[in-house]
Amino acid sequence: MSKNIAVIGAGLIGRSWAMVFGRAGHRVALYDAFPDALDASERLLDASLADLENNGLIASASETRARIRRADTLEDAVEGADWVQENALEQVPVKRDLFSRMDALAPADAIIASSTSAIPCHEITDGMAGAARMLVAHPANPPYLLPIVELSGAEATSAETLSRSRAFLEEVGMAVITINKPVKGFVLNRLQVAVLNEAFKLVEDGVVSGADLDKTLKHGLGLRWSFMGPMETIDLNAPSGIRDYLERFGPSFEEIAVEQSETRPWTSERYQRMEQERRNVMSQDQLPERTAWRDRRLMALMRHKMQAAEEIGE
């Protein structure tokens, strides 16, 4: 049954969420405190939905677009909403202010979720009357092409809220995981930080160039990881499974893990080095075109994964 969805914040993440909910058949009210952001979002929605239709990922761009409307006030956006997805600046005071206002405005049975990438739920919702119906629903970027979403509540978040949220997000086509206890950065970003931390050290130490390091991921690990995770990867990489793999490689992997345990400061000097590595490969003015290329490649990969799941199995 079609639901009323309020998407608060019309940047890349908010716009992507609007497409996720709209293509699933729900009515979406898209709001941003800055009218210019709404104007830009409406133009970009048209282009992104057309790309999805051209890649066979939605039946009709126009029908999906018709389900997404502009809301010029927060009150209008959340009126009658069943689900509210907040995508404001990654700042606790900003999010707390919004959640407090939405708590007062949204229907009592509406779930209120934040897309925050790293802020623990309790820092946003502590002390609020409706804290039981509030949680984090953190997506990858962009959510309409990367379906993972991480659910993380606070102590006050009810089990019913978590259960309803998981069921609803799975219904709209997302791959949902539940974070069972508070952890900074949730799961996706913790894994990403671990890879980046080692990647930066390998580049800084002259072991490999940034460009060659990227090849290792996209032509090696990334190919497997696009359809199975690291636990299943090693389970299939030895004749008798994961225990066999660990017995074979555990000692040498432990030595590597000890070497990797060194933490180096994330400083301006490091950022400058990584910036230079990337600008050696691509100039800054090429980034928008390359971002569009990335999204088209992700669409092609999604199409392949859907087809392969039907023909080979998930």
Q: What is the pLDDT of residues 110-166, one digit of tens each?
A: 999 999 999 999 999 999 999 999 999 999 999 999 999 999 999 999 999 999 999
* Same domain assignment for residues 171 and 202: no
Phi-psi region of 8 (alpha: psi -120 to 50; beta: other; left: phi over 0): beta
* Same domain assignment for residues 112 and 155: yes
Q: What is the pLDDT of residues 265-296, one digit of tens each?
A: 999 999 999 999 999 999 999 999 999 999 99
User: Is residue 301 a part of any domain in this protein?
Assistant: no
Q: How many domains does the chain have?
A: 2
Residue 304 has pLDDT above 90, yes or no: yes
* Same domain assignment for residues 164 and 195: no
Q: Are 131 and 157 in contact (CB under 8 A)?
A: yes
Task: With cut-offs at 50, 70 and 90, classify the pLDDT of residue 59.
Answer: very high
9: domain CATH number is 3.40.50.720
Integer Cα distance of 97 and 123 in angstroms: 12
* Same domain assignment for residues 15 and 124: yes
* Same domain assignment for residues 153 and 19: yes
Integer Cα distance of 44 and 223 in angstroms: 30
209-235 mean pLDDT: 96
User: Is residue 314 a part of any domain in this protein?
Assistant: no
Kindly give the pairing relationship between strand 4-8 and strand 27-31.
parallel
* Same domain assignment for residues 173 and 213: no
Q: What is the pLDDT of residues 17-51, one digit of tens each?
A: 999 999 999 999 999 999 999 999 999 999 999 99
Question: What DSSP assignment string belongs to the chain?
Answer: ---EEEEE--SHHHHHHHHHHHHTT-EEEEE-SSHHHHHHHHHHHHHHHHHHHHTTSSS-HHHHHHTEEEESSHHHHHTT-SEEEE---S-HHHHHHHHHHHHHHS-TT-EEEE--SS--HHHHHTT-TTGGGEEEEEE-SSTTT--EEEEE--TTS-HHHHHHHHHHHHHTT-EEEE--S--TTTTHHHHHHHHHHHHHHHHHTTSS-HHHHHHHIIIIIHHHHTTS-HHHHHHTSSTT-HHHHHHHHHHHHHHHHHHHT------HHHHHHHHHHHHTTS-GGGHHHHHHHHHHHHHHHHHHHHHHHHHT--
User: Is residue 312 a part of any domain in this protein?
Assistant: no
pTM listed for this prediction? 0.93
Integer Cα distance of 132 and 303 in angstroms: 38
Task: With cut-offs at 50, 70 and 90, classify the pLDDT of residue 1.
Answer: confident
* Same domain assignment for residues 18 and 166: yes
205-232 mean pLDDT: 96
Task: With cut-offs at 50, 70 and 90, classify the pLDDT of residue 185.
Answer: very high
* Same domain assignment for residues 71 and 112: yes
245: domain CATH number is 1.10.1040.10
Domain boundary among 147, 178, 209: 178
- Indicate the average pLDDT of the chain: 96
User: Is residue 91 a part of any domain in this protein?
Assistant: yes
User: Is residue 38 a part of any domain in this protein?
Assistant: yes
Q: Which domain holds residue 203?
A: 189-281
* Same domain assignment for residues 54 and 139: yes
Q: What is the pLDDT of residues 69-119, one digit of tens each?
A: 999 999 999 999 999 999 999 999 999 999 999 999 999 999 999 999 999
Closest to 9 in 3D by CA, of 105, 93, 116? 116
User: Is residue 298 a part of any domain in this protein?
Assistant: no
Q: Quote the percentage of the chain above a pLDDT of 70.
A: 100
What is the C-alpha end-to-end distance of the chain, expressed in Å? 27
* Same domain assignment for residues 18 and 84: yes
* Same domain assignment for residues 54 and 155: yes
Q: What one-character DSSP code corresponds to residue 67? A: T
* Same domain assignment for residues 154 and 205: no
Domain boundary among 130, 145, 178: 178
Predicted pLDDT of residue 314: 86
User: Is residue 286 a part of any domain in this protein?
Assistant: no
User: Is residue 212 a part of any domain in this protein?
Assistant: yes
